[in-house]
Amino acid sequence: MTLLEIKDLKVRVDNRIVINGVNLRVGNVGEVHVLMGPNAAGKTSLLATIMGLPKYNVMHGNIYFDGKDITKMPLYERAKMGIALAFQFPPVIKGVKLKDFVKVMLERYHCSHASLLAKILDIDRLMDRYLFLGFSGGERKRTELYLSLIQRPKLLMLDEPDSGVDIDSITKIANAIELYVENVPSSILLVTHSGHILSKMRHIDYVHIMDSGRIVYTGSPDEILPLVFKLGYKKTLSMLTDKKVKE
Amino acid sequence: MSRKREEISEYTIEKPIVADESVLEEKYTLGAAKRVGLTAPEFRRAAFVQVDYSQVLTAMKKVLEKYKVIVLNTREALRKYPWVKKYYWKALSPGQDEYTSSVEKYGGDGYFIYVPPKTKVPFPILTCLLITRNNLGQLLHNIIIVDEGSELHLMTGCAVSHLVDRALHIGVSEFYVARNAKLTFTMIHAWGSGVDVKPRTGVIVEEGGRYTSYYVIYSPVKHLQTFPRIYLSREAKAYSVTITVGSGKSIYDVGSKIVLRDENAVGEIISRNLAEENSQIIARANITATAPNTKGHIECLGLLLSDNAVIRAVPELESHIHEAELTHEASIGKIAEEELIYLMSKGFTEDEAKSMIIRGFLSVDAPDLPIHVKREIDKVLDLILREAKG
């Protein structure tokens, strides 16, 4: 069964084309998809468009989620349908304490794993602090992941959950994701630059390489990741494309 | 000057009378009390209530007598205890302006609270000042004394009933916080668009004393003008919070002044100003240092929710001495788009997200507020949001 299907998507931000003909299908059986690619390839823009953030204007194509066309659906409706985005840089919400926000979120989403997730992500001690105010990189990422997970999403989108965080935090983040996927029917779309988190994850189904607003190559992690980490995107793409032509 | 005196005389001013508790049960009185967040049972627990010119000293007065706390009307306190005279018009002068002088002229009466030395009142004392009749001029003179080493949490609600189109409220309040005593004062105002409000407050905090004030005005008003002056002695501390939620065509001229007049005094003035519709908020703050090793800080934040509203922040620091550390920060802005989008991405509608941001903006962690007072403040903030949503 397909959870998310994107057909021929073209997206503009102001006057700039950020997504230029993306097609993607994510199944609903615990699939893990990784998006990689150079800066400005369109990875974050793709997640933002799926979430429905206002400045991402769809010029062409459609997004289907759970069998429904959500291309024009407001972002909060998408969240209610089961799409969550863990932001790379969540903003400080002034005067709102984490514990108060969590309380409101739990009243809405009734997540039974909330306490366990808080423990794994080590955020109990942050509960009395204002949301993201003065948080370290690791605290911010772990908290944002926690808030996304307690939404109990069917599709969890993670925008660079491993950037600017220490190895301990990456382990906690990976453990929480694993726990979630094992217990809640859901799929993951994950953007990473460094790839640090990938080594901590038990299974990855597909790796997509994006460039200039397109998905230019999709393959298995075994096929793609060793090459990317060794050669970088440009050489990897050239090598994979040559291989494909020869086949 | 003379124009304003004429204005005062245009209102009905009466001699206060002591009434029985049945006054509290009247529909419009309960309605006014509800506007400052009080349910009927909570309202009945107020130690002193003045409805128009009817003063009610409730059964709580008896409870407080166990702690030797005196609650009376000011006139009676002056008659019964001659020593009260040494506090009468000492924290501010009747000649300060036309409003203070009118309170003196008309013999304004209000509540008197005295907490004897080394007494910690374990629950907040509640007072309520309400107007339920049109064209009434309510002139009050309150005196609160917290004696050496004692603690008091005073909560005051001032409101008009929905029926009142035009009224005047002038409340003179004198606070005396003795050596090493602690007073937290929470005041909530809920007026109406035709009500003129001129509170006049003076606070004297003696050596090592603590004064925390938390003031909220969330209703429309014709013109509110208040600028309490807080005088700090050696090692005394004051923390003054003003939360103004402006709406209608109201004008709010609010703020406070702290004078650091002795060594090691510390003062902080915090304000949150939210302006909707056509409202105007002038958020004033002044910290004046006249003694060495003193510290003062002003934080004045404004959130503008309408293009027709105006917020003017006027933070002033005045130092007469080298060794004083005075700082301030002020900003006025609108709701940040990125905060709104973030919250909406978590499944909240635009209205819900805005409410959450506003609630956060208005939240101030005031030190020294006991948990039950914090709960009351939370209730008031929720009330503000409900009122704001209509």
- From B122's Cα to the closest Cα of chain A, the distance in A is 26
Please choose, from the candidates B293, B285, B204, the residue with its C-alpha nearest in 3D space to the C-alpha of residue B240.
Answer: B285
Q: Which of A211-215, B371-375, B384-388 has the lowest mean pLDDT?
A: B384-388
- From B389's Cα to the closest Cα of chain A, the distance in A is 18
- From A238's Cα to the closest Cα of chain B, the distance in A is 37
For position B60, what pLDDT does the model report? Answer: 82
Residue B267 φ/ψ region, left for φ over 0, alpha for ψ in the -120 to 50 degree band, beta for the rest:
beta
For position A87, what pLDDT does the model report? Answer: 97
Give chain B positions within 8 Å (CB) of A84: 345-346
Give chain B positions within 8 Å (CB) of A105: 346
Closest Cα in chain B to A102: B346
Closest Cα in chain B to A53: B341
Q: Can you give the C-alpha Rg of chain B in angstroms?
A: 20
Contact between chains at A94 and B357 (C-beta distance less than 8 A):
yes
Relative to beta strand B251-260, strand B229-232 is: parallel
Contact between chains at B356 and A96 (C-beta distance less than 8 A):
yes
Say which residue, B315 or B1, is predicted with more confidence. B315
B63 has a pLDDT exceeding 90: no
pLDDT band at A196 (very low <50, low <70, confident <90, very high): confident
CA distances from B82 to A108, B129, B148, B329 (A): 60, 26, 19, 45
> Measured between CB atoms, does A108 come within 8 Å of chain B?
yes
Q: Model confidence over B220-275: pLDDT tens digits?
A: 999 999 999 999 999 999 999 999 999 999 999 999 999 999 999 999 999 999 99
- Share above pLDDT 90 across residues of chain B, in percent, rounded to a whole number: 76
Q: Region B24-39: what's the mean pLDDT?
A: 86
8 Å CB contact between B190 and B164 = no
B32 has a pLDDT exceeding 70: yes
For position B5, what pLDDT does the model report? Answer: 46
pLDDT band at B3 (very low <50, low <70, confident <90, very high): very low
Across the interface, of B336, B349, B359, the residue whose CB is closest to A91 is B336
> Measured between CB atoms, does A85 come within 8 Å of chain B?
yes
CA distances from A59 to A14, A42, A44, A56 (A): 12, 15, 17, 9
For position B37, what pLDDT does the model report? Answer: 81
What mean pLDDT value characterizes chain A?
Answer: 93
If you write DSSP's letter for every residue of B314-352 in order, what string do you get? Answer: EEEEEESSTTEEEEEEEEEE---HHHHHHHHHTT--HHH
Contact between chains at A79 and B346 (C-beta distance less than 8 A):
yes
Q: Region B200-212: what's the mean pLDDT?
A: 98
For position B114, what pLDDT does the model report? Answer: 97
Contact between chains at B341 and A87 (C-beta distance less than 8 A):
no
Using the CB atoms, write b or e for A1-20: b if 16+ within 10 Å.
eebbbbbebbbbeeeeebbb
Relative to beta strand B200-205, strand B17-18 is: unpaired
Please choose, from the candidates B353, B350, B348, B357, the residue with its C-alpha nearest in 3D space to the C-alpha of residue B381.
Answer: B357
- From A36's Cα to the closest Cα of chain B, the distance in A is 23
The ipTM (two decimal places) reads 0.95
pLDDT band at B1 (very low <50, low <70, confident <90, very high): very low
For position B283, what pLDDT does the model report? Answer: 97
Residues B349, B354, B359, B363: what is their CA dihedral angle, to the nearest 10 degrees?
130
Q: Model confidence over A27-78: pLDDT tens digits?
A: 987 899 999 999 999 999 999 999 999 999 999 999 999 999 999 999 999 9
B4 has a pLDDT exceeding 50: no
B384 has a pLDDT exceeding 80: no
What is this structure's pTM?
0.86
Give chain A positions within 8 Å (CB) of B336: 91
Number of neighbouring beta carbons within 10 Å of residue B164: 22
For position B388, what pLDDT does the model report? Answer: 57
β-partners of residue B258 are: B230, B287
Q: Model confidence over A142-190: pLDDT tens digits?
A: 999 999 999 999 999 999 999 988 888 999 999 999 888 888 889 999 9
Phi first, then psi: give them for residue B305, nearest 5 degrees: -105, 0
Q: In whole angstroms, what is the distance from residue B126 CA to residue B306 CA? A: 35
Give chain B positions within 8 Å (CB) of A108: 347
Please choose, from the candidates A177, A98, A171, the residue with its C-alpha nearest in 3D space to the C-alpha of residue A138.
Answer: A171
DSSP state of A30: S
pLDDT band at B387 (very low <50, low <70, confident <90, very high): low
C-alpha B241: how far from its chain's center?
9
8 Å CB contact between B355 and B343 = no
Q: Exposed, middle or buried: residue B365 (CB in 10 Å: 0-12, 13-18, 19+)? A: exposed
DSSP state of B12: B
B390 has a pLDDT exceeding 50: no
C-alpha B285: how far from its chain's center?
15
Closest Cα in chain B to A146: B346
Q: In whole angstroms, what is the distance from residue B387 CA to residue B327 CA? A: 35
What mean pLDDT value characterizes chain B?
Answer: 92
Q: In whole angstroms, what is the distance from residue B270 CA to residue B194 CA? A: 28
For position B2, what pLDDT does the model report? Answer: 37
Q: Exposed, middle or buried: residue B256 (CB in 10 Å: 0-12, 13-18, 19+)? A: buried
Give chain B positions within 8 Å (CB) of A79: 344-347
DSSP state of A166: -
Q: In whole angstroms, what is the distance from residue B271 CA to residue B277 CA? A: 20
Q: In whole angstroms, what is the distance from residue A111 CA to residue B373 CA? A: 31
Q: Exposed, middle or buried: residue B280 (CB in 10 Å: 0-12, 13-18, 19+)? A: middle
For position B389, what pLDDT does the model report? Answer: 52
Q: Exposed, middle or buried: residue B101 (CB in 10 Å: 0-12, 13-18, 19+)? A: middle
> Measured between CB atoms, does A51 come within 8 Å of chain B?
yes
